[in-house]
């Protein structure tokens, strides 16, 4: 008997497909699937989060609550403004707003779970009149009225869960890197649409309280100045650009108010600048 | 963003070095296969009884590591299923290299043929999950001299 090992042609046990081609097909396919799933989940989470009772939201928030604010002239002033705005926006009784004055340089104000609104000294120092302050406060209260914090949280949780399940099944370090990046992009705090809605409600509130929307425009001028020269494209920032918001205000003013003449902004209380520093 | 850049760099390194090593390895495999073709490796358990002598155990083993790029493709492939073509060439190389090393040992013993050849494969990643992906292939058989 004769034994031999003949020459076997190459490529029987391996694939002839170029590895880079497979890489691109797979990456595009899997990323596409993940993005679609995340968008779908986010959409449903956003719709359903609306039905979570406000009391539940308050319970979630109380754990994360930063601190209770001590009574101070500024705190009292902000609270009285809040009461007026809440009345105009017709907030339900079960949706109490708690405003906090924070003695900090940060130029910011935000609303979070459980109806807590935080106002920072840095921003208040820059405001020219009460109308602008009301615009800020009304904007943040509008977020709460439209249940934006819980909707963002719901979206964030659902997307986070889904992505961690995917990354768990892959169970690999490098995939986790991709996925954590996708997560930060998709779970930004408030969407631009939510900001637009809140702007609109805040403008309605200004109109009802003062009969004009002077404060809004001044507020965005201030924000624009503090943003300085750094111009981010709209895609990268959650807030619509100040320019666009100012244009929206002009449009709103044209539609709701006939003449620009004789509009007077209500000045801030005379002691406002001293109140800024008094926190006890 | 920095994570993404690091990932892309690792992928590029994996692809560059991986495909260079693979093509070099294949060239070497094909030349050595031709050189050692005069020693057939046969899977039959029963050598001819009349004129064989000097039965010796010969073996050859090899460990090959997967590169970052291949592992990345295989990871994505795990999600959707299908042929893991990235690993096919890896295992093909490992099997052929193991047989070549076994034949090499037989050639040093001046054997003429190897009978009862068997291949075994194991993955080396104990305790490290998916971090380290290496494959070991061992080939072993009985080398014989057939009297002229």
Q: What is the DSSP string of A93-105?
A: TT---EEEEE-SS
Distances in Å between the Cα of A188 and the Cα atoms of A66, A157, A185, A275 are 21, 12, 6, 34
Q: Return the residue in A12, A22, A171, A181 with the most chain B beta carbons within 10 A, the one to mutate for interface testing.
A: A22
Instruction: Note the pLDDT tens digit of each residue in A237-257.
Output: 555 566 777 777 778 777 766
For the record, the structure tokens of A245 come out as: 């918001």
Q: Is A173 part of the contact surface with chain B (CB cutoff 8 Å)?
A: yes
Does position A259 have pLDDT exceeding 70, yes or no?
A: no
Does position A67 have pLDDT exceeding 80, yes or no?
A: no
A236 confidence band (pLDDT: 50, 70, 90): very low
Nearest-angstrom CA–CA distance, A170 and A26: 14
Q: Name the DSSP letter for residue B41.
A: B
Give me the residue label for tokens 């003062």.
A210
Nearest-angstrom CA–CA distance, A218 and B51: 105
- Please indicate whether, in this complex, the C-beta atoms of B7 and A170 are within 8 angstroms of each other: no
Highest-confidence range of A57-61, A82-86, B44-48, by mean pLDDT?
A: A82-86
Q: Is B139 part of the contact surface with chain A (CB cutoff 8 Å)?
A: no
Does position A168 have pLDDT exceeding 70, yes or no?
A: no
Instruction: Note the pLDDT tens digit of each residue in B73-87.
Output: 888 888 788 888 888
pLDDT of residue A262: 55
A183 confidence band (pLDDT: 50, 70, 90): very low
What angle, rounded to 10 degrees, do the helices at A192-210 and A242-256 form? 40
Give the contacts of A68 (CB within 8 A, at least 6 positions apart). none
Does position B143 have pLDDT exceeding 90, yes or no?
A: yes
Q: Indicate the pTM of the whole model.
A: 0.58
Distances in Å between the Cα of B18 and the Cα atoms of A26, A44, B3 are 19, 44, 22
- Higher pLDDT, residue A143 or B51: A143
pLDDT of residue A267: 79
pLDDT of residue B51: 77
Contacts of B29 in chain A (CB under 8 A): none
Q: Give the DSSP H/E element, type plus range, for residue A219.
A: helix A214-227
Instruction: Note the pLDDT tens digit of each residue in A82-102.
Output: 888 888 888 888 888 888 888
Highest-confidence range of A41-45, A60-64, A75-79, A160-164, by mean pLDDT?
A: A75-79
- Please indicate whether, in this complex, the C-beta atoms of A26 and B80 are within 8 angstroms of each other: yes
Instruction: Note the pLDDT tens digit of each residue in B91-131.
Output: 999 999 999 999 999 999 999 999 999 999 998 876 665 56
């Amino acid at each position: 008997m004769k034994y031999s090992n003949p020459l076997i042609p190459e490529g029987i046990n391996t694939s002839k497909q170029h590895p880079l081609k497979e890489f691109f097909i797979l990456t595009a396919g899997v990323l596409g699937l993940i993005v679609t799933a995340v968008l779908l989940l986010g959409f449903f989470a956003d719709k359903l989060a609306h039905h979570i009772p406000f009391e539940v939201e308050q319970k979630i928030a109380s754990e994360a609550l930063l601190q209770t604010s001590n009574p101070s002239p500024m705190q009292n002033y902000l609270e009285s403004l809040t009461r007026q705005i809440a009345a105009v926006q017709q907030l339900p009784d079960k949706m109490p707003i708690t405003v906090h004055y924070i003695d900090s340089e940060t130029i910011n104000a935000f609303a979070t779970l459980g109806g807590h609104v935080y106002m920072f000294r840095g921003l208040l120092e820059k405001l020219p009149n009460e109308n602008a302050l009301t615009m800020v406060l009304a904007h943040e209260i509008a977020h709460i009225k439209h249940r934006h914090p819980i909707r963002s949280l719901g979206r964030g949780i659902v997307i986070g869960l889904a992505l961690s399940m995917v990354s768990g099944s892959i169970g690999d370090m490098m995939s986790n890197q991709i996925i954590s990046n996708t997560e930060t992009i998709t779970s930004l705090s408030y969407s631009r649409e939510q900001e637009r809605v809140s702007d609109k409600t805040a403008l309605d509130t200004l109109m009802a309280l003062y009969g004009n929307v002077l404060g809004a425009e001044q507020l965005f001028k201030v924000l624009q100045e503090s943003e300085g020269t750094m111009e981010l494209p709209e895609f990268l920032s959650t807030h619509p650009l100040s320019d666009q918001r100012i244009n929206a205000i002009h449009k709103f003013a044209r539609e709701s108010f006939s003449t620009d003449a004789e509009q007077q902004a209500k000045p801030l209380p005379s002691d406002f600048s001293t109140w800024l520093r008094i926190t006890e | 963003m920095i994570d993404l850049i690091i990932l892309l760099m690792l992928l590029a390194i994996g692809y560059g070095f991986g495909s260079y090593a693979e093509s070099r390895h294949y060239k070497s495999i094909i030349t050595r296969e031709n050189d050692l073709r005069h020693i057939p490796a046969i899977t039959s358990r029963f050598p001819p009884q009349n004129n064989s002598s000097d039965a010796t155990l010969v073996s050859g083993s090899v460990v090959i590591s997967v590169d970052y790029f291949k592992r990345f493709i295989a990871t994505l492939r795990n999600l959707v299923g299908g042929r893991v073509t990235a690993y096919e060439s890896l295992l093909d190389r490992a099997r052929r290299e193991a047989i070549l090393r076994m034949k090499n040992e037989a050639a040093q013993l001046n054997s003429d043929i190897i009978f009862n050849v068997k291949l075994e494969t194991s993955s080396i990643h104990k305790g490290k999950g998916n971090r380290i992906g290496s494959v070991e292939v061992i080939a072993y058989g009985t080398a014989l001299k057939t009297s002229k």
